[in-house]
Structure 1
Amino acid sequence: MTQASEAAFNAIVVFDIDGVVRDVSGSYRRALADTVEHFTQGAYRPSSEDMDALKSEGIWNNDWEASQELIRRYSQTQGQNELDCTYEEIVAFFQGRYRGPDPNYLTGYICQEPLLMSAAYIEQLSQANIGWGFFSGATRISATYVLQARMGLKSPLLVAMEDAPGKPDPTGLLQTVEHWENQGSATATTPVFYVGDTVADMQTIAKAQQIQPDRAWLAVGILPPHVQTTSERREAYATTLKQAGAIAVFEQVEQLTPDTIRQLIGSQ
């Protein structure tokens, strides 16, 4: 899978991974719920709505930190101001469920994630001279597994957890765009899309706009599968993303076609 490079890109589209490229409702979110339940001694297992409410605050993109925060909030309701566990213990338990007990082999929930994006879709973007890349809060091992082993992309441009601060800090997004500028495939005015499924993702674009105000930065929201169970929940989640800055919200990432990308640029 290669990028076209004969001329400057018409646009650059950078994708989040979780909830956009893969369905993590039965993996990351399940591991988060398992972790909170374990460290509250089985007293509290957060619902999908509980997790969405936390993430709507815009600062809990990291699921390890989100697990710790939900444990902390539950403990406070029980009159406890100190946690009985460390952050390292939370991460270790979470990873044991998500990746599996052996760190050298992926056998956990990660192996059960349905894909939401195809390599054929990425090829459509390349053929339309649209640059693409990925900026995710997932670990590099996890992100590489889905992009290369599952989707079959060859050396995709990826900024992962280890490479940049967590969202909504826009550093990773700026790094992705800078890569294409250094390759001569983008200019200082090439429009940039960031496609994500959380409030933090939408806020990332707003912060990038503050740093580079002369470029068109466009936030696109994707409804993750777990919120599409009812029309009420789907509409409420879409409203939340739009209030956070999304110029459009889609039920599935591949609805963001090259034609749609051109239309969204023209509408700005």
Structure 2
Amino acid sequence: MKGVIFDVDGVIVDVKESYHFAIKRTAEEFLGFEVPIEKVRLIKFSKGINNDWIATKEVIRHFGREVELDHIVSVFNEIYKSLRDREKLILDEDFFANLKAQGIPLGVLTGRPKEDLNYTFEKFGLFKYFDFLLDDDDIPVDDLKKPHPYALHLCIEHMNLSACVYVGDSLADWEMVVCYRKMYDKPVEYIHFGDSVKLDNVKSANTPQELRLVLQEVLKHL
């Protein structure tokens, strides 16, 4: 059985006004001055940082300060909660309903904490489209989190897939698939969605319409 596994932030959900600004505002709390949102995004995506707490730490470090991650997490979480209702769907219910109607198993593999994932999926009514969801809290060992392919392996095995496509938007997503191919033996293809970072010689799509077409083509030849 072939399936599709999706990242959430930047793929299913637009987080430019939520998580990105939570990084910015948290960093500003510790730095004491304004940080351009463009700089936040450049640091996060150019370094391929999957976890936004760690991305915040890296932004703060970029400007010459070191702050313990525990302190960052507590501030970040409160700021994010004040911003999360700014989020909008990139891939809507019709997108997933169309795939489900074709009998394609769908999964989620995300670096979001469980509380954040549940809030957003409940808000947008997305739970019913997915056969399996794996979030950051499901992988308690930091060394096994994305871009390590262990989480992707868990998804594939739990969904009983013979092959799959992973749809992501970051260097970490691409690296995870590359590492999976080296460590495990089931065929996995990667589709890069959006323009947050450019990858050469990688299947890509910039709109839901393009993604639908690329997915169908990749699944056909997988």
The question of whether the paired residues in 1 share the 8 Å contact of 2:166 and 2:191 is answered with: yes
**Residues 36-47 of structure 1: pairs in structure 2 closer than 5 A:** 36-42=27-33, 44-47=34-37
Kindly indicate whether residue 26 of structure 2 is the aligned counterpart of residue 35 of structure 1: yes
From 211, 220, 226, the counterpart of 2:183: 211
Pair 1:70–1:49, CA change in 2 (3 A): closer
Deviation at 1:50, TM superposition (A): 4.3
Q: Distance in 1 between matches of 2:167 and 2:126?
A: 20
Deviation at 1:56, TM superposition (A): 2.3
Q: Distance in 2 between matches of 1:166 and 1:158?
A: 15
From 193, 199, 210, the counterpart of 1:241: 199
Pair 1:52–1:194, CA change in 2 (3 A): farther
More helix by share: 2
TM-score, length of structure 2 as denominator length = 0.88
Q: CA RMSD in A?
A: 2.1
The question of whether the paired residues in 2 share the 8 Å contact of 1:148 and 1:155 is answered with: no
Question: Which consecutive unaligned segments of at least 5 residues does structure 1 have?
Answer: 1-8, 77-82, 100-107, 228-236
Q: Which residue of 2 aligns with 1:92?
A: 74
Report sequence identity in percent.
Answer: 24
Q: Which residue of 1 aligns with 2:135?
A: 160
Q: Which residue of 2 aligns with 1:55?
A: 45
The question of whether the paired residues in 2 share the 8 Å contact of 1:12 and 1:191 is answered with: yes
Question: Which consecutive unaligned segments of at least 5 residues does structure 2 have?
Answer: none
Q: Which residue of 1 aligns with 2:151?
A: 172
The question of whether the paired residues in 2 share the 8 Å contact of 1:61 and 1:200 is answered with: yes
Kindly indicate whether residue 199 of structure 2 is the aligned counterpart of residue 263 of structure 1: no
The question of whether the paired residues in 1 share the 8 Å contact of 2:20 and 2:37 is answered with: no
Deviations 1:218-245 (A, max 9, x none): 1111116xx5xxxxxxxxx3xx2336xx
Give the count of matched residue pairs. 217
Kindly indicate whether residue 119 of structure 2 is the aligned counterpart of residue 145 of structure 1: yes
Please list every run of at least 4 consecutive aligned residues from structure 1 whose deviation after the TM superposition is greater than 6 angstroms.
none
Look up the SS of the partner of 1:154 in the other structure: helix
Q: Which residue of 1 aligns with 2:104?
A: 130
The question of whether the paired residues in 1 share the 8 Å contact of 2:191 and 2:204 is answered with: yes
Look up the SS of the partner of 1:134 in the other structure: strand
Deviations 1:174-232 (A, max 9, x none): 11111121xxxx3xxx321111111101111111111223x2211111116xx5xxxxx
Deviation at 1:48, TM superposition (A): 2.2
The question of whether the paired residues in 1 share the 8 Å contact of 2:100 and 2:129 is answered with: no
Which amino acid letter does the alignment assign opposite residue 20 of structure 1? V
Q: Which residue of 1 aligns with 2:206?
A: 251
